[in-house]
Structure formats: C-alpha cells, structure tokens
C-alpha cells in the first residue's frame, strides 16, 4: 500500500514540508524524470484553491531538482468530464469575471452532460469551454513563473493513450465492480466501468448494454444521468462506441492517469483524501496492478473566512491577487504547512506581506528567528524568488499604502527616502521594485475601502479656515507630533488637546481630516499621522504649506 497521505511531509527533522515529501519520494528510488502531477476539472473560474495543487507540486519538484533529479511537473485538465451544472460566474481571458447574463448561459444549459471540450467557448475565443478555462489555469502558472506542462484528458483519449488501460479495466470488470462496491453503493452486477459518449446528442451516458473487447466497442442506450440534485436527460439513442469514444469513470480514470503518465507524487485536497484516494489506491493495486504514487493531502483555503467555490461565486483569481501582492509574496503563501487550513484574507493581506518581508530578511541574515524559521528561509526563499539579490528594497506595505495617497512618483520616492525606507545607496532597479509595491497597496486600499483609501492633499494645503480655538489646538497638536510620539500617543493627545481647548472632539478630528484630505472624515487620525513623515504633518497642522 502507498503511504498515508495525511502523514507524508509531516515527519522527520525538515523545516520545510517539501523537503520531507522529497525524502519520501526518493525512498522509492524512482527513475528520472520524476513525475509530479496535479489536476482539475476545468468547470469554471479557476481560483487560488485550484492553484494550491500546482504550488504544492512546484515546491516538491524544486526540492527534488535541488538534489539533482530531472523532474517533470504535469497538470491534467480533466476536460472530458461532463458539465454537470451551469456555474454562476465565468471569466474571459483577461480575467474579467462576469455573470451569466453577460454570456449565452442558455447554450451552457443545453450542453449539460457533454464533455467540457465539446461545449462551445461562451466567449468565442478558444476551441471549447474546457480549453478556455484550461487556458486560464495555464496563465495563472505563467503569472508566477511556475513551469507546468498541461495535459488534456480529451487529447489522451483521442490519441489512444487511455485505450490499453481502459481495455484492462473492462477485461477485469468483475474485479473492478468488487473493488468499487466497497466505496459506492450504486455499484451492482450490471455496472460497467465505462461512460460512452452518445453519437446522437454528445452526452456521456452510463447505459452500457454490452461490451465487445475483440472489436474494442461497447453498446449503449443514452439514459438519464443523475447530477447532484438534478437529472440530465438522455436522448434514448441506442448505439455503439469505441473505447476512445467515451471515458472511464473518475475513480478509475485517476489511477489510469498515474499509469499513463508514470506519476511518482500527487498532492490533493482533503475531499479526495476521504473519497477518491482510498478507492484509487485500491483500483491501482488490485485492478491495474500498479503502485500508486506518493500521496499528500492538503487543507483547503477559505476566502475571508468563507469556502472558496466556483459554483457559488466566492472566488479570487491569481490575477486578482497579483493586483495587490507581488508574485513572490503570493508564492510564499504556499510555503506554509499544507496540512493547516489557511484563510486568504484580502482585508488583512498586509499581515501576509509583513510575514514575507520577515521571511526575506531572515534569508539575508537581517532578522533573527528560531532554528526552524531560519532553515525554512534558507531552503524555500530561493524557490520563491528566482534571483535573490541582497540589494533589494522592501517598503512596508501599509507605508506603501500611505504613499499611494499621492500620485506623484517623485514625491513617493522622496517621502520613502526621508523615512529611511529607501537607502541612499540603493541601486535604481531596487528603487523601482520597492516603489512598485505602492500601486498594489493602493489597489488594496481601494478594494477594501480601508483607512488608506483617501487622497492625501500633499502638494498644497486645502483651502480651509478655523476659529481661534481650533487653530490654537492644531498648533498644540503640531508641537506634540514634532516630539516624535507613536500613533497611540498621538491619538490620545488629540482627545486631550480638544478637551484643553474646549473643542468638540468630532469637530477637532474633522479639522485634521480637512487639512490632510480636504474631507470631514478619514482613518483613525493618530495612527495614520504616525505613518506619515513627521515634518510634513507638523507643517500642515501649523498651516504653513
């Protein structure tokens, strides 16, 4: 039997889980190239949960390459699967997510039950529905510079790659039924592990009536198929299909992929770990007579606390993530232990960036950490950043959001230098890279409408005037700020200054917002002020510029 998927990557003294997995793969003494596989059915908008499988495979591939192995990372598009339901959202090749009202949703509904590659692309740009969403998956990998070979199941069937293993499954149909009956109640004596495609309506059907292996054909009746809580109606046609004109059911198709592609390692989500993996392992060993690959289960992601789901529309794509994060920060997210459920919080993405910056500093010896933290940085950082360069500069993410309140690039650099976030000797490429974070942080502020989503009136003071008491209070607050206090102290002093000068606290906050934003509201003022360069704030509150 194969290893326990819940234990692979967990044991040993390795700080990086991918090294522990590589140990397990090497222990089998596989021939090169070592094949690492992932896969997904291209049923709708690919999100970061789908990308989980690509990245888990990527890190194990890199760990094995570090040890001198040739590695082939493949990702199967299970695109001969049937369309079981119409998704709520779709995305064009520019990652614009649209509702069904913006495409021909009726055409999708009329194609329920057909393979994804036999359904027209709703956007009319690719060869099929399946090709469209596989292209988006491929583009996701390209966006973070992960080299993955995509393989189409439809093409494998058409080229005859599945035919020998399909024939073997059908030759051993009794054994296949006995194995599958342990996992599915609907398996009876008439069950045939093959889904022919109806030559009349194009739908995949389960109505096999006879098998002729000498001719390499099956006879069928196009019957109704249950798909979740709905029924996909068959057309009733009686016909004959070759072993290439159909597909294996998933619980046989997955082990067949292992044989065809020579898979040595495959990570998968806990849904498969508790369902398809046990049956796949059984089918591999007792129907196909092959060794299943080294498995590893990973936990699912949530998005701001809710499950990721293409069908419900709760998704975030890789393209959307890269609007607010550098690719290396996003890649770092997958360095974390795959066995712990992770929430990708858009609102709190600044915390992820801060973690990455600390991870980077540890690699360059600029920050301390535990022995495991230092080893993790040493091992994983070169896999996250293709060309580690010590001269690189990172502006703190929330400070970058502050800089995003002004559109003047020169002023952004000036402020960052003044606050010590860009060293005097920083090379031009490092400065450019550091300031590139500003646009992403600005997008984050806009997306979440957080405390940084304001336009700081930096170049000139807003045309506002105050009564004598408020003007005196602003001067007092400016003196306090000039002394170099932190945000919490400044926030407390705002209240005290208003009290001393007998000013309504709401009106005093409003005065500060007017000076900074030409608005009457804004973020928590004291905390925000502490993030700005002190000289600017002092002069602004003195109304000198």
How much is the average pLDDT of 317-333? Answer: 96
Residue 522, pLDDT score: 84
CA distances from 306 to 347, 375, 474, 529 (A): 13, 33, 44, 34
pLDDT in tens, 173-216: 999 999 999 999 889 999 999 999 999 999 999 999 999 999 99
| Per-residue pLDDT, 411 | 86
- First-to-last CA distance in the chain? 75
Task: Determine the average pLDDT of the residues in 472-500.
Answer: 94
Q: Is the pLDDT of residue 413 over 70?
A: yes
Q: How confident is the model at residue 83 (pLDDT cuts 50, 70, 90)?
A: very high
Rounded distance between C-alpha atoms, residue 394 and residue 406, angstroms = 19
365: buried, middle or exposed (CB in 10 Å: 19+, 13-18, 0-12)? exposed
Q: CB under 8 Å to 100, separation ≥6 — which residues? A: 86, 87, 88, 89, 90, 108
Q: Where residue 311 falls among pLDDT bands split at 50, 70, 90?
A: low
3-state secondary structure of 90: strand
Taking residues 481-499, report their average pLDDT: 94
Q: Are 412 and 406 in contact (CB under 8 A)?
A: yes
Q: Looking at the DSSP assignment, which residues form a beta bridge with residue 219?
A: 210, 240
* Whole-angstrom distance, CA of residue 364 vs CA of residue 54: 27
Tell which residue, 145, 99, 154, has the closest CA to residue 122: 99
Q: Can you identify the CATH homologous superfamily of domain 1-183+248-381?
A: HUPs (3.40.50.620)
Residue 321 has pLDDT above 70, yes or no: yes
Q: Is the pLDDT of residue 158 over 90?
A: yes
Averaged pLDDT for residues 130-155: 96
Beta-bridged to residue 231, according to DSSP, are 226
Q: List, in sequence order, the alpha helices (H) in 464-504.
A: 468-482, 487-500
Hey, which residues does 297 pair with through a beta bridge?
268
Q: How many Å apart are CA 343 and CA 49, to the nearest integer?
A: 11
Q: What is the pLDDT of residue 76?
A: 97
pLDDT in tens, 518-528: 999 888 899 88
Q: Is 144 within 8 Å of 138 (Cβ atoms)?
A: no
Distance CA(188)–CA(495), nearest Å, equals: 76
Per residue in 347-371, pLDDT (tens digit) is: 999 999 999 999 999 999 999 999 9
**Percent of the chain residues topping a pLDDT of 90:** 76
Model confidence at 545: pLDDT above 70: no
Distance CA 302, CA 343 (A): 5
What top-level class would CATH report for the domain 466-540? Answer: mainly alpha
Query: What's residue 406's pLDDT?
Result: 86
- 287 pLDDT exceeds 80? yes
Residue 109 has pLDDT above 90, yes or no: no
Is 310 a residue whose pLDDT tops 80? no
φ/ψ of 245, rounded to 5, equals -95, 55
Distance (Å, whole) CA 17 – CA 57:
12
The whole-chain average pLDDT of the chain stands at 93
**d(C-alpha 350, C-alpha 405), whole Å:** 16
Is pLDDT above 70 for 342? yes
Q: Is 88 helix (H, G, I), strand (E, B) or coil?
A: coil
Q: What is the pLDDT of residue 434?
A: 96
Residue 521 has a pLDDT of 87
CA torsion 113-117-119-122 (nearest 10°) is 130
């Amino acid at each position: 039997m194969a290893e326990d998927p819940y234990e692979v990557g967990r044991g040993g003294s390795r700080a990086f889980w991918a090294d522990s997995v590589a140990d397990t793969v090497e222990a089998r003494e596989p021939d090169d190239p070592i094949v690492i596989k992932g896969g997904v059915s291209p049923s709708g908008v690919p999100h970061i949960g789908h990308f989980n499988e690509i990245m888990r495979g990527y890190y194990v591939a890199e760990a094995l390459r570090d040890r001198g192995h040739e590695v082939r990372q493949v990702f199967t598009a299970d695109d001969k699967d049937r369309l079981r339901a119409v998704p709520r959202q779709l995305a064009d090749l520019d990652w614009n997510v649209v509702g069904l009202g913006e495409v021909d949703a009726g055409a999708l509904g009329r194609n329920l039950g057909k393979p994804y590659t036999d359904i027209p692309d709703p956007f009319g740009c690719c060869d099929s529905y399946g090709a469209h969403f596989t292209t988006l998956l491929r583009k996701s990998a390209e966006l973070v510079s992960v080299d993955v070979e995509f393989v189409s199941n439809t093409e494998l069937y058409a080229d005859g790659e599945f035919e020998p293993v399909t024939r073997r499954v059908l030759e051993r149909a009794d054994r296949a039924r006995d194995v599958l009956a342990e996992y599915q109640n609907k398996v009876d004596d008439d069950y045939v592990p093959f889904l022919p495609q109806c030559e009349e309506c194009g739908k995949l059907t389960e109505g096999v009536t006879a098998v002729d292996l000498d001719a390499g054909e099956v006879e069928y009746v196009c019957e109704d198929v249950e798909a979740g809580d709905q029924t996909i109606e068959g057309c009733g046609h009686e016909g004959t299909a070759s072993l290439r004109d159909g597909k294996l059911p998933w619980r046989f198709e997955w082990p067949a992929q292992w044989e065809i592609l020579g898979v040595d390692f495959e990570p998968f989500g806990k849904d498969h770990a508790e369902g398809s993996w046990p049956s796949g392992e059984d089918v591999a060993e007792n129907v196909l007579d092959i060794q299943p690959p080294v498995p590893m289960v990973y936990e699912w992601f949530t998005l701001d606390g809710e499950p990721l789901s293409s069908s419900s529309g709760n998704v975030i794509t890789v393209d959307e993530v890269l609007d607010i994060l550098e690719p290396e920060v996003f890649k770092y997210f997958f360095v974390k232990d795959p066995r712990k459920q992770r929430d990708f919080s858009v609102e709190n993405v600044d915390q992820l960036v801060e973690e990455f910056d600390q991870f980077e500093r540890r690699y360059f010896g600029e920050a301390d950490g535990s022995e495991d933290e230092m080893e993790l940085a040493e091992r994983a950082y070169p896999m996250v950043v293709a060309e580690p360069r010590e001269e690189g500069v990172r502006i703190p993410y929330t400070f970058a959001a502050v800089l995003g309140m002004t559109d003047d690039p020169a002023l952004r650099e000036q402020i960052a230098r003044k606050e010590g976030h860009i060293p005097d000797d920083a090379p031009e490429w490092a400065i450019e890279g550091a300031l590139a974070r500003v646009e992403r942080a600005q997008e984050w502020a806009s997306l979440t409408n957080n405390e940084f989503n304001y336009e700081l009136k930096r170049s000139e003071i807003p045309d506002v005037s105050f009564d004598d008491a408020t003007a005196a209070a602003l001067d007092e607050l400016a003196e306090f700020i000039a002394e170099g206090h932190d945000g919490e102290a400044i926030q407390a002093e705002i209240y005290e200054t208003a009290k001393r000068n007998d000013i309504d606290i709401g009106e005093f906050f409003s005065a500060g917002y007017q000076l900074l934003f030409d608005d009457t509201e804004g973020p928590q003022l004291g905390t925000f002020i502490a993030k700005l360069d002190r000289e600017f704030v002092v002069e602004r509150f003195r109304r000198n510029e």
